[in-house]
Amino acid sequence: MNADLEAARLLMYQAAWMFDTLGMTPATLTACFRAKYFIGEVVTRITRSALTACGAHALFKTSLLEQFFRDGASAPIMPPQSDFCRDAVGMFELGLEPTEMLPPLKVVK
C-alpha cells in the first residue's frame, strides 16, 4: 500500500511541477490525466487491501475506513472518468490528433 501511495504522490507532484513550469501544454494535460487515472486505481486498491487487513469491523458506518472505501470505489467514475484519462494519455503517447479520432461506434460513410 505504501509503494502504491508513493507512486501516486510522485505522479501528482510531476503533473503539478509541469503545470507550474510549462503551463497548460498537451504534455502537462496528459500528465494530469495520467495522475488522475493512477490515483483512482490506487485509492481503490489500497482501501480494498485495508478492508481485508482490518476485517469486518471496518465495514461499519462508523468506521472512517468504510467512508474511504466508498470514496475510493467511486474514483474511477468521477470526472474525468478513467476511460477518458486512458484514451487521452494513449492518444498523446501515440502522437494522435484528438480532433481526427472517430467517436466509438460512429458509422463512416
3-state secondary structure of 59: helix
Cell of 81: 472518468
CA gap 98, 91 in Å, rounded: 7
Amino acid at 104: P
pLDDT tens, 10-20? 999 999 999 99
The reply to whether the predicted model has a pTM over 0.85 is no
Amino acid at 51: L
Among the CATH numbers 3.30.930.10, 1.20.140.10, 3.40.50.1010, 1.10.630.10, which is that of 2-100? 1.20.140.10
pLDDT tens, 83-107? 999 999 999 999 998 778 767 666 6
